[in-house]
Structure 1
Amino acid sequence: MSRDRGGSEGGESHHSDGDRGHDHGEITPLEAAAERVRDLRDEWSDRWAVETASLDRIAGRTLAEPIDAPSDVPARSHATMDGYAFDATEGYPYELVDREVFPESDPPAIADGEAVRIFTGAPLPAGANAVLKQEEATVEDGRLDGSPTEPGTYVYERGSNVAAGERLFAAGERLGAKDAILLGDLGIDEVPVTERLSVGLLATGTEIHEGRHDDLDSPMLAGLVRGWGGEATYEGTVPDEYERVRDRIAGVAADHDVVMTTGGTSVGDKDYVVRALRDLGTVHFHRVALRPGKPIAVATLDDSDAVAFAIPGKPVGAHAVTALVARPFFTGSTALPTVDAAVASDVGISVPGFTYAVPVTLDGDEATPLGHVDSPLAVYEETFDPSVLSSSTRATRADGFVLTESALSAGEAVAVVPYPVVER
């Protein structure tokens, strides 16, 4: 049985033997681990193939080349109100030209002292630099009068949105649905993007392989990968037998850009995954100073050029460490936008030197630690218990989590990372 799926998962108990390094390496600080994974993305990015994506399919895709504005936007100045266009450096009254300018019009030039009727979105005639909206205008005997108007009033000026040649998108940038608006305005119908990363998911553990325990991790990891713009394929299970673990990892790596394994990452007698990764390539780090989720490993595999993420088996810890450490490889970002709240209960910590991901529910600006005895999930009274909480599937009903390296006091201001931030 893979020991990091049950009870006191290796590295997640309150005992600190595994925290002193001994013969299984140093613990990498959380921020350093996330940055190393982001750097790994940069090192690997030139190996990824490029394809084109239409604007309706760019959300979540990574731009392969920079994009500069091909022309000024707008290409011509135009009116943002229905009214009258004229040169506002002159004074009222203006002689009204017997024409109307619509968005589809090719407007006439106007002479000094002249004005022309214009409608929202219509190009500004040569000789005009302002628009007087119709509600403020008075027209008598073909002459226009109205409120004082400065040059530029109700005018969307040429190049004021985008100047020709301006760098708007950088290579490696992850695009969102809103980016289709600007790209479409530039006249760009499709963009070069890197192919979606192919991820093979492999669950380890005899209890999983034999169907005695459900695999709760793989569907969750598939959702994370797809939310980050990748493609996830479930590649099945493998029992706790070293050669079979090693060979299955190698086989999955041959077919995918990324391998994600679950289970077998701790220091138990049958935790073979990290040993297999060392035999197949280079382990960049094993164990991150995060609770829950500590025993993650990140490796590159020699024969396949694949990247491997070995994820601990407890599902809540697996989600936390994958979202915080593996995410930068897919999104290129380590940023974690937060919302401000006040913690509702005292939360103690058992072992210093770790970052604790404390799940919380939000009610207005109050953050209740889900798992605290005062919450609907009573896992701990005061001292945060990452080991049990990591297995408590109800903890997924939290709205987000607080990252802290020290104890929290009731009423203390905290920064909550909402789950959607790390899932897209």
Structure 2
Amino acid sequence: MSVGNTANGMDTRGSIPRSVALDRLRERRPFEADGPTVRMELAEVAGRTTAEPVTAPIDVPQHDRATMDGFAFAASDEYPLRVTDAVFPEDEPPTIDRGDAVAVATGAALPARADVVLMREEATVEDGSLSGPPQTPGTNVYPAGATATAGERLFTADHRLAPRHAALLRDVGIDSVLVYRPLTVGILPTGTEIHHGRQPDRDSEMLCNLVRRWGHRPGIEDAVPDAIDRVRTAIETAAAEYDVVLTTGGTSVGGADHVITVLEEHDVLFRGVDVRPGRPVTVGTVAETPVCALPGKPVAAHTAATLLVRPFLTGCDRLPTVTADCRVRVTVPDADVEFAIPVVLEGRGAMPLGHASSELELYDERFAPGRVASSTRVLCADGIVLTREAIEAGDPVTVVPYEVLE
């Protein structure tokens, strides 16, 4: 195909906004309603995408339960009350009559008539008679069905599960979930200097960990030297073996940057995104396999992967943020580019890591994406600030934590 065009005629010669890139990627997501599925036990569901809605099979809890150690009774009854029994979490709730109370442990099921738990430290018990301050119905009680009711939808289809969701699923009596089969993701580093061992491969293991965190199965291929035939063979072979391929290096405009040349022989979705570091990222398809070509510099590769590949592989492009005040002034070198500035959170403030005032000096006041892209040290930051404009000292900024990005 001709350089700069895709099968649907879109121009790909210039870099595009991140939002446009995400829209184009969303159309190529490798999840389909009739795609292969697998049933997975709860110990392995993190990062997986549900292939069907998940509903609660029972009410949880099935009885009102105590949230404190104390005494359960009906709030309408008057003191003193007769303490007739003791109930623990493993016990079935007893029956109580008017004027009765039972001692309960945290998590214990309450008798049907009881609607309040008096905290033990507020209770006075003498000769089996209980007294204490007046109580409002529902105090220190976790109601039946508060977690879920039978038939209630907990997750829609295409929902990405997190580690915390295993607790809810177990609680409602579900021990396995039908999910889409994890994708196989090939990671292919390029560069003669890496192939010959003159420089370390700083990207592949990082990407491998990201892919695994996103719920898929990565595989690292041997590094390929900067020879067009070797690069072409490696990409086409990987595209035949994996569901998705991530390459690193060879995405710029130098004479040895052959990854782009190979993708342009196939179908290019876009070439370049208006984010720095990370702008040279290119996405295409080879034999219907998505190939995401990431820049070789590690921070640029990480930025492009977390802002673009993560939504592509997980279906989630939300970026929850925290707000902090920027400690220093930062200017930006270009007007129409989105800059990803790594920052360290310090109380309610954010210090750009790499700024001359930080513990790592890479630039003075003007953000230097090239230097930042080369420094694996900046990956010790707490997150990034995405901005197209200069930031004044004291300005509030929205920080995307790395925990969100990854």
**Normalized against structure 2, the TM-score is what?**
0.86
Name the CA shift for 1:243/1:153 in 2 (closer, same or farther; >3 Å): same
Name the CA shift for 1:319/1:101 in 2 (closer, same or farther; >3 Å): closer
Amino acid at match of 1:29: P
SS at match of 1:390: helix
Indicate the percent of aligned positions where both proteins have the same amino acid.
48
| More deviation, 31-40/217-226 | 31-40
Amino acid at match of 2:53: P
For 1:55, the equivalent position in structure 2 comes to 42
The answer on whether the counterparts of 2:33 and 2:51 sit within 8 Å (CA) in structure 1 is no
Query: Shift of residue 284 of structure 1?
Result: 1.5
Name the CA shift for 1:49/1:98 in 2 (closer, same or farther; >3 Å): same
For 2:4, the equivalent position in structure 1 comes to none
Query: Shift of residue 68 of structure 1?
Result: 0.9
Does 1:297 find its partner at 2:297? no
Query: Distance in 1 between the 2:367 and 2:135 partners?
Result: 64
The answer on whether the counterparts of 1:71 and 1:163 sit within 8 Å (CA) in structure 2 is yes
Q: Write the mapping of 1:15-414 to structure 2, written as runs, cut at 5 A.
A: 25-41=13-29, 44-46=31-33, 48-92=35-79, 94=81, 96=82, 98-111=84-97, 113-120=98-105, 121-137=107-123, 145-280=131-266, 282-302=267-287, 305-414=288-397
Query: Distance in 2 between the 1:378 and 1:100 partners?
Result: 64
| More deviation, 182-191/121-130 | 121-130
Amino acid at match of 2:218: A
The answer on whether the counterparts of 1:74 and 1:158 sit within 8 Å (CA) in structure 2 is yes
The answer on whether the counterparts of 1:359 and 1:369 sit within 8 Å (CA) in structure 2 is yes
| More deviation, 228-237/391-400 | 391-400
SS at match of 2:354: coil
| CA shift digits 1:16-49 (9 cap, x unpaired) | xxxxxxx9613211233234434433x5344653
SS at match of 2:269: strand
SS at match of 2:270: strand
Name the CA shift for 1:383/1:68 in 2 (closer, same or farther; >3 Å): same
Name the CA shift for 1:223/1:131 in 2 (closer, same or farther; >3 Å): closer
Query: Distance in 1 between the 2:167 and 2:269 partners?
Result: 40
The higher-RCO structure (CA 8 Å, 6+ apart) is 1
**How big is the alpha-carbon RMSD for the aligned residues of Structure 1 and Structure 2?**
2.7
Query: Distance in 2 between the 1:126 and 1:24 partners?
Result: 67
| More deviation, 370-379/194-203 | 370-379
Question: Where does the alignment leave 5 or more consecutive residues of structure 1 unmatched?
Answer: 1-22
Query: Distance in 2 between the 1:368 and 1:145 partners?
Result: 56
Question: Where does the alignment leave 5 or more consecutive residues of structure 2 unmatched?
Answer: 1-10
Query: Distance in 1 between the 2:193 and 2:274 partners?
Result: 28
Query: Distance in 1 between the 2:258 and 2:171 partners?
Result: 53
Count of residue pairs brought into register by the alignment: 395
The answer on whether the counterparts of 1:79 and 1:118 sit within 8 Å (CA) in structure 2 is no
Name the CA shift for 1:364/1:118 in 2 (closer, same or farther; >3 Å): closer
Query: Distance in 1 between the 2:130 and 2:365 partners?
Result: 76
SS at match of 2:261: helix
| CA shift digits 1:174-229 (9 cap, x unpaired) | 22222222111111122222333211111223333333433222222222222322
